[in-house]
């Protein structure tokens, strides 16, 4: 099936065993000390500054970030989307807002130099490096409903909505509070007839996006579980906070 012709945030059939699709170098990286992240991926954790951590495929992490820190998101395997959400650290009623960012920037595509705003029109994150130049801020986190309605999945399927919610649960975040994520590396375009088409990400192994934190926030990052918007199979994502 041509991923460009379907809603890309669908799952499609799951890829085969993850290890089979990963380059050896990545398997080795994931066996290093970053691996414990996997056990905290859906329960929330605090990132260690200055250390690259791995978010295993189809999981998420949550952590706090302070104004002035830089969050680096790395596509460690190539062609993988990372959903990013942010909430003001001391006020859950303020969250990252695609609509306010569209308003303030007069654009729907964001890259180096652009600011991602909160629903109260305050700068939350400023993109300071972008190796790819194309990300999505239109589509919601993949969810159980999406997998059920669009792909007929009847059982449980990992999804960004529940993974992000679990990762930020200790902050008080619940599913109905989840904003539309900034979908790092997601290659979605709006066609002239209004259709949204998503193709495999343009990101290659090692490509990164860096965001300057403009206010104290709780951040959720998810290695997206929907295989078709990730080039056919889901993979890990790396991140650093420094």
Q: Which residues bind Zn ion (CB under 5 A)?
A: 142, 160, 224-226
Task: Identify which of residues 71 and 184 has a Cβ nearer to Zn ion in the complex.
Answer: 184
CB of 51 to Zn ion, least distance (A): 25
List Cα–Cα distances, 186 to 9, 84, 99, 102, 228, in angstroms: 10, 11, 18, 17, 11
State whether residue 150 is helix, strand or coil: helix
Strand stretches in 56-172, DSSP E: 60-65, 70-74, 82-88, 91-95, 115-117, 123-130
Task: Identify which of residues 201 and 215 has a Cβ nearer to Zn ion in the complex.
Answer: 201
CB of 217 to Zn ion, least distance (A): 20
Residues 6+ apart with CB under 8 A from 149: none
Q: Are 142 and 160 in contact (CB under 8 A)?
A: yes
CB of 108 to Zn ion, least distance (A): 19
What radius of gyration, in Å, describes the C-alpha atoms of the chain?
A: 16
CB of 160 to Zn ion, least distance (A): 3
Task: Identify which of residues 105 and 144 has a Cβ nearer to Zn ion in the complex.
Answer: 144
Task: Identify which of residues 164 and 215 has a Cβ nearer to Zn ion in the complex.
Answer: 164
Task: Identify which of residues 29 and 157 has a Cβ nearer to Zn ion in the complex.
Answer: 157
CB of 83 to Zn ion, least distance (A): 6
Q: Are 88 and 94 in contact (CB under 8 A)?
A: yes
CB of 42 to Zn ion, least distance (A): 14
Q: What is the rounded CA–CA span in Å between residue 109 and residue 89?
A: 26
Nearest to 81 by CA among 46, 24, 132, 19: 132
Q: What is the rounded CA–CA span in Å between residue 100 and residue 116?
A: 8
Task: Identify which of residues 173 and 226 has a Cβ nearer to Zn ion in the complex.
Answer: 226
């Amino acid at each position: 099936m041509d991923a460009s012709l379907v809603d890309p945030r669908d799952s499609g059939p799951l890829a085969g065993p993850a290890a089979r699709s990963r380059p050896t170098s990545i398997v080795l990286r994931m066996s290093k000390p970053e691996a414990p992240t996997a056990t905290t991926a859906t329960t929330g954790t605090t990132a260690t500054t200055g250390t690259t951590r791995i978010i295993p495929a189809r999981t998420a992490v949550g952590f706090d970030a302070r104004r002035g820190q830089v969050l680096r998101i790395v596509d460690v395997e190539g062609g993988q989307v990372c959903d990013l959400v942010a909430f003001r650290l001391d006020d859950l009623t303020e969250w990252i807002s695609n609509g306010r960012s569209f308003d303030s920037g007069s654009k729907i595509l964001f890259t180096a130099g652009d600011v991602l705003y909160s629903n109260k029109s305050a700068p939350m994150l400023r993109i300071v490096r972008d190796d790819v130049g194309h990300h999505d801020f239109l589509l919601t986190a993949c969810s159980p409903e999406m997998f059920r309605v669009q792909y007929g999945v009847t059982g449980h399927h990992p999804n960004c909505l529940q993974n992000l919610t679990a990762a930020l649960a200790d902050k008080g975040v619940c599913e109905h509070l989840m904003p539309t994520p900034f979908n790092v590396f997601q290659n979605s375009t709006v066609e002239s007839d209004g259709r949204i088409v998503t193709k495999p990400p343009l990101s290659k192994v090692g490509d990164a996006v860096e965001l300057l934190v403009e206010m104290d926030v709780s951040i959720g990052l998810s290695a997206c579980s929907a295989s078709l918007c990730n080039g056919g199979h889901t993979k890990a994502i790396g991140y650093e906070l420094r």
